[in-house]
Structure 1
Amino acid sequence: MLTWIKYVFCAVYRILSVLLFLLIWEIAPRVGLVDTIFLPPFSKVAVAFWELLVTGEIFTHVVISIRRSLLGFGLGLCVAIPLGLIIGWFKEFERFIDPLMQTFRQTSTLALFPVFMLLFGIGEVSKVAIIFWGVQWAVLLNTISGVKNVDPLLIKAARSMGISSAALFLKIILPASVPSILTGVRLSATTSILILIAAEMLGANSGLGYLLFFAEANFLIPQMYAAIITMSILGLIVNYSLVAFERRLTGWKEEVPAGQ
């Protein structure tokens, strides 16, 4: 019984800050702290969100956005992870490619969206392409960092046993780089959603970004906030799903107790 009570208390405590925020959101417009035209009470937003759920409209936009995001994100990982492993492993290649890589990395992804629209049109390809481009950098840099920061003692110990370079890479370097790679994947997953929303606001007739832009343009403010909440929920689901996956994949890592 005590264990169950403790579990409930911990669960409530974890979401207490969110509940307080929603309570302030509900009260502030009603007491006149903010204009209800621009920030309606949370209860009105919840009603709008429920209506979008009942009609199924929100699901249509979510599915379209997820499909675009997953396609661009998946293609980005297929390029960024192998390229990061190569750059991190071959120092001479890193010296050669780093200036170009840093130049591309410092260029705003959304600033390039008009270029992608000119190259690929305003259809699905341009949206997938901009996500593909935007998710590269966090994964690429974390993969390079993971390879370069492998414990030198592990490498020396393996080489002292006469291991080949290929076996060293596959059995030592790659497994030791996984935590850093997964950190980059988590960062890029969130980035892919943000980039997609912006791209859908600029040129689309479906998706969460389009829903947000349509609601704002037609002054459907509760629906606009409902779309924003949907994006936040989607981001949370993606983040915690990747955290759970990372814990299962890197269960061998020793966790350092808090305060040490």
Structure 2
Amino acid sequence: MTGQRRIKRATLCRLVLLVGIVGALEILCLDGAIDRLTMPPPHRIVLDMARMLVRGSLDSAIAKTLTNAAIACGLAIVIGIAAAILLHRARPLRRMLDPLFATYYAIPVFAFYPMLIILFGLGDTPQVFIGFMLGVVAVIVNTLNGLDRVPRVLLKTARVNRMDPFETAWRVTLPSAAPYILTGAKLAVAYSLIGIIGAEFILSNGGMGYEISFAYTNFDNATMYPLILLILAVSIAINMALARWEKALMARRGLR
């Protein structure tokens, strides 16, 4: 009960903080402290987003970005989990790659975009690859953390039952490491969206990133801010769903 109260209190604090920030922005915008050219009031952004979704004027751009982000995130999760399983068994290779994982996000991934265009052309593939590159290491690192914490008794049980490596991973190690894998998946969602939208900013003729960049250049706040809000809403919704799944897994094990 104490744990549930803490969770409810933390949720309430987050809601109060969010309402406070939005309320402060609303007051500052309506009062003129923040001029309309810089940012419209939050209620106007919500209305503009609803109007944009009802009209369907940017449906193709939204679908393009979310589809590419889903592909990049899916690839990052699948390949990241598979790579983590292999690295967990190949200790020398893991020790060799650990410094790369520790400094990976200091590498400017977008610097590889011109090379990716040469390799894959001007289609969606370079954007998906950027999103994948940003998301996959988060999945690998978190999955490795989970695999390192699998109780030894479970591994001994798998050996006693003569499970092969694939069956051990499928039935024992991955279910035990599931909360850590879900943490990696949540990060992969955010990083994949960042990668896709950032790539669309750099060089693209479509997608939400392109539309935000175009709207920014033309001072079109009625398009730019609603698109930013939509990206935030999608990312938060997916992460909340994964967090609920993670909470259910932890509760099933009696950890919460």
Check 1:81–1:13 CA distance in 2 against 1; reply closer, same or farther (3 A cut).
Answer: closer
TM-score, normalization by structure 1: 0.82
TM-score, normalization by structure 2: 0.83
Opposite residue 203 of structure 2, the aligned amino acid is G
Corresponding pairs, count: 246
Check 1:56–1:11 CA distance in 2 against 1; reply closer, same or farther (3 A cut).
Answer: farther
Opposite residue 128 of structure 2, the aligned amino acid is V
Cα distance per residue 1:168-225 (max 9 Å; x no partner): 5444323212221111011111111111111111122221111111110111123211
Q: How far apart, CA to CA, are the structure 2 residues paired with 1:208 and 1:244? A: 28
Give the C-alpha shift of residue 122 in structure 1.
2.2
**Larger deviation, residues 246-255 vs 234-243:** 246-255
Q: Determine the structure 1 residue equivalent to 2:65.
A: 65
Ranges in structure 2 where 5+ consecutive residues have no aligned partner: 1-9
Q: Is the 8 A contact 2:150 2:173 kept in 1?
A: yes
Q: Is the 8 A contact 2:37 2:219 kept in 1?
A: no
Opposite residue 142 of structure 1, the aligned amino acid is N
Verify: 1:127 aligned to 2:127, yes or no: yes
Give the C-alpha shift of residue 102 in structure 1.
5.3
Q: How far apart, CA to CA, are the structure 2 residues paired with 1:111 and 1:100? A: 17
Verify: 1:27 aligned to 2:27, yes or no: yes
Q: Determine the structure 2 residue equivalent to 1:146.
A: 146
Q: Determine the structure 1 residue equivalent to 2:155.
A: 155
**Larger deviation, residues 103-112 vs 215-224:** 103-112
Ranges in structure 1 where 5+ consecutive residues have no aligned partner: 1-9
Q: Is the 8 A contact 2:142 2:181 kept in 1?
A: yes
Q: Is the 8 A contact 2:154 2:172 kept in 1?
A: yes
Opposite residue 243 of structure 2, the aligned amino acid is V
Cα distance per residue 1:121-173 (max 9 Å; x no partner): 221111111112111110011111111222234435665x4745635544432
Identity of aligned residues (%): 26
Give the C-alpha shift of residue 116 in structure 1.
1.7
Q: How far apart, CA to CA, are the structure 1 residues paired with 2:61 and 2:163? A: 51
Give the C-alpha shift of residue 110 in structure 1.
2.3
CA RMSD of aligned residues (A): 2.8
Give the C-alpha shift of residue 101 in structure 1.
5.2
Verify: 1:136 aligned to 2:136, yes or no: yes
Opposite residue 138 of structure 2, the aligned amino acid is A
Q: How far apart, CA to CA, are the structure 1 residues paired with 2:200 and 2:151? A: 43
Q: What SS does the corresponding residue of 1:215 show, helix, strand or coil? A: helix
Cα distance per residue 1:56-82 (max 9 Å; x no partner): 024332211111111122222221111
Check 1:198–1:105 CA distance in 2 against 1; reply closer, same or farther (3 A cut).
Answer: closer
**Larger deviation, residues 28-37 vs 203-212:** 28-37
**Larger deviation, residues 213-222 vs 238-247:** 238-247
Q: How far apart, CA to CA, are the structure 2 residues paired with 1:14 and 1:28? A: 21
